[in-house]
Chains A and B, each alone.
Chain A
Amino acid sequence: MGIAIIVLLLVGAVAAWVCKNDKTARMIALVVTAIDAVIAVVMTMNVSSGGEQVIRFGSGFIAQSIRIGKIECFMACIFGIIGFLIVWASMSMISHDVEKDLIPFYYFLVLALLGTLNAVVFFESLIGVFVSIELSSFAAAGIVIVKNQTENVHAGLKYLSLSILGSSLVLMGVVILYVATKGLDITTIGTAIKAAGFMGEKSAYVIWAFALITSGVAFKAALFPCHIWLPDAHGTAPSPSSAILSSLVLKAYIVFYMKMVFGAVGFDIIAGSGMRILLNVVMVVGVVAMICGSVLAIMQTDIKRMIAYSSVAQMGYIFMGIGLGTEFGLFAALFHILAHAVTKSGLFLVAGSIIEQTHNRDLNKMGGLGKLMPITMALFTIGGLSMIGIPLFVGFNSKWNFATGIVGSSNYWLLIPLSISALLNALYYLPVVIRAFFGKEAQEITEPFASKERPVKDLLPLILLAVGVVIFGVAAGPVSDFLHSGIEVLSNIGL
């Protein structure tokens, strides 16, 4: 079924493109992503009762394999459901940003991107992963450039070049691993690395390979200071694209990285080898990203750039969790992938709605907006509170997981940056909310009593995302259990 998702999305992509009609393309995208979401959910239910499976095809150098495990299905659900909601929201928003003629091409790119992201996650053979990573880079840059403005073209090219730099670093790492282990898929590599004595004899190879893969992923997933493409790309892209880029695209590469580090190497070897040093570096850089991303976000006056810098900070959280190198850390990082995906996609779509309705991107001119667009600003408030980590919203569960993960890994000092980071989040989200509900500027520049609210039927996907923020905030139990068992499976790869 993993293959079915990928094939479905790619076929849908081509169909959307060849239909040459913007209305048909929208419908195709909506239906295809809906089917994708359903398949992902069914697959997840199968896996949680039946366990994982590996499908192999081809032979020799081009032999490929796909792993349908719990972590993979978790990601497929995020891609499927959140992707569907974003595409749904884009139905009413996209014509604001993309010319009519380009809309079929836009949905081709979106569906192709979702397909390749699923492939990045599902492929177990590294050649397949690498090809998918490359293809997704082009599609991702495409949905930035498609807005067809000078700034978009610049941002997209910057994104594409750094993305390809990242992929090349990953490729070099993969090649070194191949030389050392003679394996081209995660299981074979894992078996070799976990064999007795391997990490003594060839540990230098493995650590160099992982250093290269880490730096490559750092570019792909915008780990500070390799984030320089992100604010431009996410800030200028059409809002549905920004939502896809921040909540889905970044995550695929991170999950690939997690599978490499915790699947192919595993917790036990990490704890007692040079990998620990590498992960310490990842952890410290993650902490720096948490703080710097937020500080940069505070300095922004453009709402979308602010949210984009906030993503840089959130990627820092995830890398910090990975850097802990323990099950607690990995669990916190995986859960944060979900928390950030649900929250951040909502925030970008809200920002898009605000810009669409008021033609204003300047945060300082949003005073009183809460009275003009009460539902939209309420959704922004929910997103902001979740990012800060207020209980009942999913961000709190994430913050709690990170805190207990840090305590469980006995790195108490990390509680300090974690607290500072929550404070910084409050510093840029709350003033916007206060100004919107208690300020007056925006009301003065628009005519009195004019409602700028979008119709509720257009806001419905945004509302559903906010409902998701609350649901995962109050009932995260099943997801947590699923992830815990997924981590157990992952750490046993190759044994």
Chain B
Amino acid sequence: MSVLILIPIVLPIIAGLYMLKRDFKERGARERYVAATVIVNAVFVLMISFTLQGAQLVLAPLVEGHAVMFAVDGMGGMFASLVAVLWILCIFYAFEYMTHEGGENRFFAFYTMAFGIMMGISFAGNLITLYLFYEFLTLITVPLVIHNESKASTTAARIYLIFSISGATVAMMGIAIIAFTGGSTAFVPGGVMASVTAGASALQIAYVCCFFGFGVKSAIMPFHAWLPQASVAPTPVSALLHAVAVVKAGVFAVARVTYFSIGADTLRGTTAQGIVLAASLITILYGSAMALMQKHLKRRLAYSTVSQLSYILFGLALMSPEGYLGGMMHLVGHAIVKITLFLCAGAIIYKTHREYVWELRGIGKKMPVTMVVFTIASLALVGIPPLPGFFSKWFLTVAAFGSGSSALGFAGTVVLAISALLTAIYLFSICVNAFIPGQGFDASVNKDVKDPNRYMTVPLTILAVAIVVFGVLVEPITQLMAL
């Protein structure tokens, strides 16, 4: 039965390759094909995640002694399910959105293939397999970033590629140290290094290499520059890949190294932990501050992602079960919230071609659905109870104080508070302006503005409902990912 794990990885890749060759001419046929592939695949993912827990599949060795290996566990299964559900929503949104970008055939081919690669990352059973799919995620998403082939997007793609590939190489050095020192790259809750004490300093080097190497994809300072640049990509890419899939693949990999390979117990209290905690705190503040300064809506959201991803990294770097849980809650919560914010921004761009924050005055009355959803998501990201952001920050703060943390843990609580304030300012200023344009506002500039059609509003509404419902469910769901 464990062979089934291969289906959600291979199916989208084959389907995508076939699209590149087939070149659908008719929109309807293409949409049916893509939707069918993605939905069938998502069903497989959910089935595998919930019924095949503990299954393992070992394929041929990729390098000496380390085979390509897949396994289903709580963390991988939940991550895969999250990505799969969001993929369905985004694909319908993209059907409508991409009509104004053109080149849909290539776009959907690579968009679908990326789904398969993401499943490879989720179900990877050891570091080598994770690394394999991680590299291919970079390569497969380049055509999506470069989509309109303009100079700006080519530059963005080049920067993305070079950042990501060098990050992965650094991570590979860490993996090589882990493989050589511990002998195993397999994922075991609690890590496989408990017996290794002699090479502790080597393991610290390995951890720092892996954290910053994989951290490149989750935009850790000072390797974050590619993410705001990549916001030139079409919105479905920014939303799904640059808020959920690609960036969280980085976080996911860091979580795997921390809790499943080297082991939190081996790393707690080391210099390496200090370094990564400090880096994540700096990134949280920096990202929020930069977001505040952006006038371009998608860039503001991108910097917000930079900041929010480091909340997760901060939680992971606390090296405690509470920190892990807080990080995972924020991983899930932020995924849903940020994808919503991006899809709202995309809806605005699609209907009005407005990309800057000051152009959104008074738009709330004309695009009520979009802006109400945007506001709900903003409230969630800031962390207003009972929305998801509140619970993850609660857990992160508890973890920062608990488990006899260092001074950096306490500093973390201050940083989280300041960042929440900054988040409130950079998001609420948009919401307030949109609904209450103030006196002397010339309403005629918004004369022709209206909400987009069902393809977009339905996914947005579903997401808004999900955010509200999820606030209540976030804890039980995350418990499924517990170590």
| A405: min CB distance to chain B, Å | 9
Majority SS at the chain A contact face: helix
Given contacts A391-B135, A419-B173, A423-B169, contact A407 B181 (CB under 8 A): yes
Bitwise interface map of A from 384 to 398 toward B, beta carbon under 8 Å scored 1, else 0: 010011111000110
Within 8 Å of chain A (Cβ to Cβ): is B177? yes
* Cβ-defined contact, A392 with B132, below 8 A: yes
Segment of A7-15, A76-84, A424-432 in the binding face: A424-432
Within 8 Å of chain A (Cβ to Cβ): is B165? yes
Alpha-carbon distance A419/B205, docked complex (angstroms): 14
Neighbouring A residues of B136 by C-beta, 8 Å: 390-391
| B163: min CB distance to chain A, Å | 9
* Cβ-defined contact, B170 with A419, below 8 A: yes
Within 8 Å of chain A (Cβ to Cβ): is B172? yes
Within 8 Å of chain A (Cβ to Cβ): is B468? no
* Cβ-defined contact, A438 with B154, below 8 A: yes
* Cβ-defined contact, B173 with A430, below 8 A: no
Within 8 Å of chain A (Cβ to Cβ): is B60? yes
Neighbouring B residues of A437 by C-beta, 8 Å: 143
Within 8 Å of chain B (Cβ to Cβ): is A418? yes
| A317: min CB distance to chain B, Å | 14
* Cβ-defined contact, A430 with B62, below 8 A: no
Within 8 Å of chain A (Cβ to Cβ): is B290? no
Within 8 Å of chain B (Cβ to Cβ): is A415? yes
| Given A391-B128, A399-B172, A422-B165, 10 additional A-B pairs, CB 8 A | A391-B132, A400-B172, A407-B177, A415-B177, A422-B169, A426-B161, A431-B158, A438-B154, A440-B149, A477-B61
Bitwise interface map of A from 87 to 98 toward B, beta carbon under 8 Å scored 1, else 0: 000000000000
Alpha-carbon distance A423/B161, docked complex (angstroms): 10
Given contacts A391-B135, A412-B202, A419-B166, contact A404 B142 (CB under 8 A): no
Within 8 Å of chain B (Cβ to Cβ): is A476? yes
Given contacts A423-B162, A430-B158, A476-B63, contact A407 B202 (CB under 8 A): yes
Alpha-carbon distance A431/B158, docked complex (angstroms): 7
Within 8 Å of chain A (Cβ to Cβ): is B180? yes
Neighbouring A residues of B131 by C-beta, 8 Å: 391
Residue of A nearest to B62 (CB): A391
Q: Would you give 20 A-B contacts (Cβ < 8 Å), ordered by A? A: A388-B165, A390-B165, A392-B62, A397-B63, A399-B169, A401-B63, A404-B176, A407-B180, A415-B176, A419-B170, A419-B173, A422-B165, A423-B166, A434-B142, A434-B146, A439-B149, A475-B60, A476-B63, A477-B64, A480-B64
Bitwise interface map of B from 200 to 241 toward A, beta carbon under 8 Å scored 1, else 0: 001001000100000000000000000000000000000000
Q: How many residues of A contact B (CB 8 A)?
A: 36
Neighbouring B residues of A427 by C-beta, 8 Å: 162
Neighbouring B residues of A390 by C-beta, 8 Å: 135-136, 139, 165
By Cβ-Cβ distance, the 9 closest A-B pairs, closest first, are A403-B176, A423-B166, A422-B169, A391-B132, A407-B180, A415-B173, A400-B63, A426-B165, A419-B169
Neighbouring B residues of A385 by C-beta, 8 Å: 139
| B113: min CB distance to chain A, Å | 15
* Cβ-defined contact, B149 with A403, below 8 A: no
Alpha-carbon distance A202/B226, docked complex (angstroms): 58
Residue of A nearest to B133 (CB): A391
Within 8 Å of chain B (Cβ to Cβ): is A51? no
Bitwise interface map of A from 471 to 482 toward B, beta carbon under 8 Å scored 1, else 0: 000111100100
Neighbouring B residues of A407 by C-beta, 8 Å: 176-177, 180-181, 202
User: Which B151-202 residues sit within 8 Å CB-CB of chain A?
Assistant: 154, 157-158, 161-162, 165-166, 169-170, 172-173, 176-177, 179-181, 202
Q: How many residues of B contact A (CB 8 A)?
A: 34
Alpha-carbon distance A430/B158, docked complex (angstroms): 8
Alpha-carbon distance A385/B149, docked complex (angstroms): 22
Alpha-carbon distance A426/B135, docked complex (angstroms): 13
Given contacts A415-B173, A434-B146, contact A422 B166 (CB under 8 A): yes
* Cβ-defined contact, A389 with B180, below 8 A: no
Residue of B nearest to A402 (CB): B176
Alpha-carbon distance A476/B169, docked complex (angstroms): 20
Residue of A nearest to B178 (CB): A407
Alpha-carbon distance A463/B202, docked complex (angstroms): 42
* Cβ-defined contact, A404 with B170, below 8 A: no
Alpha-carbon distance A418/B172, docked complex (angstroms): 11
Within 8 Å of chain B (Cβ to Cβ): is A408? yes
Neighbouring A residues of B157 by C-beta, 8 Å: 434, 438
| B142: min CB distance to chain A, Å | 7
* Cβ-defined contact, A438 with B146, below 8 A: yes
